[in-house]
């Protein structure tokens, strides 16, 4: 019996052990490297400079915060992460530590989500903590600014208190409050639901330089601190309210000045209860954001903080584009811009674009190897903007042409020019135009977007244009329409830029289908833009005297905007290589005459006898932009030409001209778009457009359309041209029918020497590829004067 009971006790122990093991194994445990214990995962956004719905993604796993590598990162990954963070979806993602490098572990690498997963741990990846990345590859996300209903925002954004995200310059003097841009004021940082000040003890010009850069200004200037100290003392004087101050001032000062003094005191009196947040700020001057500087936070009660100091005040120097002044100043600014050896191309807004530099009288690009915010900020400040918001790689602003002048640029951030930074000269193996560097700069807030709006469209990117009138002091703001007469792509480009909606897709002269607004009055007519203006108010227009034939709302101007655009360029060397003269019999030119491809004197010729002398050449037109080039008209309105048996999707696609050195046109031709198609493409790009069988027409990004020299109308009729030196000019999309990111590179020019029998075509180049001096020399024919045809 005793033996039996002992055995039972042993059995019970074994049984309990088994139960314990089974119970333990019943807990959720990782089944493999791609599973994670869900309760341990937390997420947050971090980094600089950023908004509340974007940033570097940091994951809390195994009691430690870490980052995610950007290898194989996709928008589907960003969707899953944004839902973790409490947002409904993602609108984009960022690579190469756009929001700054994280610290600690890199928890995930080669993440591959389908997009519908509930947890990032459910996506495929290399395993937690298994990565071959550095923090230079930290991934970031841009989430849609819409919260998941009921999401508890406990550990999502800014769990750390050591971050400073939003900074502003608050003007103190009432007059300055109405003027934009704000160039001087108290520096304030966002804190909880309000704004807080920075103590200026130890504040220096390097700190001011960083703040000015953030606000979109290239440089800082000295502040009159005594003025602000006097205001502070006046505001704190007991027994003298701001109103009393105004009354005292009224006895001896004119009304306008009286109001100004009263306003100044009133504004400072409002700030008697200052809320200091930061002190001991110390910047090197090269930071692109205040959060990168060293500083300390005030803890606890801050009512006695900054006893010996006052709120930090900064004054900034605006760049040429944002300086209000006389016409003389504007001319000076233009001259200054003309002397620069650097420019931005292909950007939708002011202060963004592909970086191009001038070397040996020829413009070229910068390779993105080692391209960072320090180098980008030197570019931005050199061009009269603030510090860099983004240093873009991988031809994000479209591919350039011509040489790549610089590689591995490594600025310290203090240089006045990009050319002062260390760099490597390029070799052909090092870089391609797919690696062209670009920038987005901080620019001053001008408030232009508040003076215009779109109505009636299916999305915020389209609609009828409505402009604000009576926006002066004391006037009540009212909205009106813009006359559609003469409205086109260039005007639409300005509207889209002003609204921050990218490029123009179409400028529409009739908008009867967007008749959803109660705004019916036409207030602006005769609008004529060059295309580079920052606001529609900067374009030419009829002023207060409206002159519009059709004032009905259906004839109001409208736009369709797009975040990307095409960019067409002619391959200049091919024109030079293929140019020749042909004497073509008239009996072979009936179709060409029908399509107006001959000069006007051909009508008087003795048809079908005789011939016409034609300058023939091939055209290879590349799309280097970020969107396909599509004809403006849909296929329902294409015109069938029986003679050549093809459709024209654009009446005039290119202009061909022979010009004298002083610009006089002596011969011209034009080319309808016989057919826009992808003749050839780069290696990794598939053809999308083909003309056969009434197919869709267009030119894909990374492809080109080839018009061979032996097809009809691919010529200029030079029968009436006398021997001499000329300029051959080819202009693509001359009437701006289709929107592009850059129209300045649509012209190509060559030198021509014609002796009456033969022609020499040389020095072909894109219109904006040379410096101003080189362009002038080009038109003066260096070295040819001693060989001129008599």
pLDDT at position 487 is 94
pLDDT at position 231 is 67
* pLDDT band (50, 70, 90) for residue 227: confident
Q: What is the mean pLDDT of residues 632-645?
A: 72
pLDDT at position 263 is 45
Nearest to 197, CA basis, from 286, 285, 305: 305
Q: What is the mean pLDDT of residues 4-17?
A: 44
pLDDT at position 253 is 41
Cα 499 to Cα 478: distance, rounded to the nearest angstrom: 18
* pLDDT band (50, 70, 90) for residue 178: low
Contacts of 120 (CB under 8 A, 6+ apart): 36, 41, 59, 77, 80, 81, 84, 108, 111, 113
Pairwise pLDDT comparison (465 vs 269), residue with the higher score? 465
Separation of first and last alpha carbons in the chain: 136
Q: What is the mean pLDDT of residues 148-158?
A: 56
* pLDDT band (50, 70, 90) for residue 326: very low
| Res 36 pLDDT > 80 | no
Q: What is the mean pLDDT of residues 199-216?
A: 94
pLDDT at position 612 is 92
pLDDT digits (tens, 9 = 90+) for 417-458: 999 998 887 665 678 888 899 999 999 999 899 999 999 998
| Res 11 pLDDT > 70 | no
- pTM equals 0.74
pLDDT digits (tens, 9 = 90+) for 258-310: 444 444 444 444 444 678 888 999 999 999 999 889 988 887 666 677 877 88
The Cα-based distances of 686 to 172, 682, 703, 704 in angstroms read 58, 8, 8, 12
Percent over 70 (pLDDT), the chain: 80
Identify the burial level of 628 via C-beta atoms within 10 angstroms of its C-beta, where 0-12 means exposed, 13-18 middle and 19 or more buried: buried
pLDDT at position 224 is 83
Contacts of 764 (CB under 8 A, 6+ apart): 572, 573, 575, 576, 728, 748, 749, 750
| Res 631 pLDDT > 90 | no
Q: How far is CA 370 from the centre of its chain?
A: 21
> Is 223:313 a contact under the CB 8 Å cutoff?
yes
pLDDT at position 152 is 62
Average pLDDT over the chain, rounded to an integer = 81
pLDDT digits (tens, 9 = 90+) for 91-124: 999 988 888 888 888 999 999 999 899 899 899 9
| Res 782 pLDDT > 70 | no
pLDDT at position 744 is 87
* pLDDT band (50, 70, 90) for residue 674: low
pLDDT at position 157 is 36
pLDDT digits (tens, 9 = 90+) for 470-511: 755 556 778 999 999 999 999 999 999 999 999 999 999 998
**Of 204-218, 398-412, 636-650, 652-666, minimum mean pLDDT range:** 636-650
Three-state DSSP at 210 gives: helix
């Amino acid at each position: 019996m005793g033996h039996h009971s002992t055995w039972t006790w042993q059995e019970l122990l074994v049984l309990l052990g088994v139960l314990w093991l089974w119970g333990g194994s019943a807990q959720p445990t990782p089944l493999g490297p791609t599973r994670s214990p869900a309760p341990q995962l937390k997420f947050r956004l971090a980094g600089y400079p950023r908004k509340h719905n974007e940033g570097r993604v940091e994951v809390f796993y195994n009691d430690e915060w870490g980052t995610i590598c950007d290898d194989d990162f996709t928008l589907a990954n960003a969707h899953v992460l944004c839902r973790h963070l409490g947002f409904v979806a993602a609108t984009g993602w960022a690579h190469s530590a756009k929001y700054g490098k994280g610290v600690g572990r890199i928890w995930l690498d080669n993440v591959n989500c389908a997009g519908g997963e509930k947890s990032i741990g459910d996506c495929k990846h290399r395993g937690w903590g298994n990565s071959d990345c550095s923090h230079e590859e930290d991934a970031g996300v841009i989430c849609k600014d819409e919260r998941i209903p009921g999401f508890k925002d406990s550990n999502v954004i800014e769990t750390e208190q050591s971050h400073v995200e939003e900074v502003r310059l608050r003007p103190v003097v009432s007059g300055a409050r109405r003027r934009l841009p704000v160039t001087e004021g108290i520096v304030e940082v966002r804190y909880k639901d309000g704004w807080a000040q920075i103590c200026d003890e130890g504040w220096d010009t390097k700190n001011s330089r960083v703040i000015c850069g953030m606000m979109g200004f290239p440089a800082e200037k000295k502040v009159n601190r005594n003025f602000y100290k006097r205001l502070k003392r006046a505001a704190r004087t007991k027994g003298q309210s701001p109103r009393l101050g105004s009354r005292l001032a009224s006895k001896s000062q004119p009304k306008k000045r009286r109001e100004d003094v009263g306003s100044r005191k009133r504004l400072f009196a409002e700030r008697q209860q200052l809320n200091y947040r930061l002190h001991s700020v110390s910047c090197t001057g090269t930071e692109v954001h205040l959060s990168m500087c060293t500083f300390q936070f005030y803890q606890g009660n801050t009512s006695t903080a900054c006893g010996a100091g006052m709120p930090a005040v900064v004054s900034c120097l605006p760049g040429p584009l944002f300086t209000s002044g006389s016409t003389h100043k504007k001319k000076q600014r233009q001259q200054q811009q003309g002397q620069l050896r650097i420019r931005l191309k292909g950007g939708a807004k002011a202060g963004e674009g592909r970086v191009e530099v001038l070397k040996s009288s020829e413009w070229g690009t910068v390779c993105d190897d080692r391209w960072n915010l320090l180098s980008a900020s030197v570019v931005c400040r050199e061009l009269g903007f603030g510090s860099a918001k983004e240093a873009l790689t991988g031809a994000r602003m479209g591919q350039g042409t011509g040489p790549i002048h610089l590689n591995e640029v490594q600025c310290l951030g203090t240089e006045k020019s990009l050319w002062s930074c260390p760099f490597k000269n390029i070799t052909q193996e090092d870089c391609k135009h797919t690696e062209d560097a670009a920038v987005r700069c901080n620019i001053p807030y001008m408030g232009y977007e508040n003076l215009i709006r779109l109505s009636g469209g299916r999305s915020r990117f389209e609609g009828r244009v409505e402009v604000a009138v009576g926006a002066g002091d004391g006037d009540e703001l009212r909205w009106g329409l813009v006359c559609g007469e003469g409205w086109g792509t260039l005007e639409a480009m300005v509207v889209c830029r002003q609204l921050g909606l990218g490029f123009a897709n179409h400028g529409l002269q009739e908008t009867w289908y967007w008749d959803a607004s109660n705004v019916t009055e036409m207030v602006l007519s005769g609008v004529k833009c060059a295309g580079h203006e920052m606001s529609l108010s900067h374009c030419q227009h009829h002023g207060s005297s409206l002159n519009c034939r059709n004032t009905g709302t259906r004839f109001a101007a409208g736009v369709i905007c797009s975040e990307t655009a095409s960019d067409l360029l002619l391959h200049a060397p091919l024109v030079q290589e293929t140019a020749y003269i042909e004497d073509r019999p008239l009996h072979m030119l009936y179709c060409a005459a029908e399509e107006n491809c001959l000069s006007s004197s051909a009508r008087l010729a003795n048809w079908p006898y005789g011939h016409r002398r034609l300058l023939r050449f091939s055209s290879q037109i590349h799309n280097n932009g970020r969107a396909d080039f599509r004809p403006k008209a849909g296929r329902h309105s294409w015109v069938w030409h029986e003679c050549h048996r093809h459709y024209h999707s654009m009446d005039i696609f290119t202009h061909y001209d022979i010009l004298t050195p002083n610009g006089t046109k002596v011969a011209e031709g034009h080319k309808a778009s016989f057919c826009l198609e992808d003749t050839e493409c780069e290696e990794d790009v598939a053809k999308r457009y083909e003309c056969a069988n009434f197919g869709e027409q267009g030119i894909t990004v990374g492809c080109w359309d080839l018009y061979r020299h032996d097809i009809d109308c691919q010529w200029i009729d030079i029968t009436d041209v006398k021997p001499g030196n000329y300029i051959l000019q080819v202009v693509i999309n001359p009437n701006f029918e289709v929107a592009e990111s850059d129209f300045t590179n649509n012209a190509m020019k060559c030198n021509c020497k014609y002796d009456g029998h033969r022609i020499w075509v040389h020095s072909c180049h894109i219109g904006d590829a040379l410096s101003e001096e080189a362009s002038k020399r080009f038109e003066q024919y260096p070295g040819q004067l001693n060989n001129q045809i008599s």
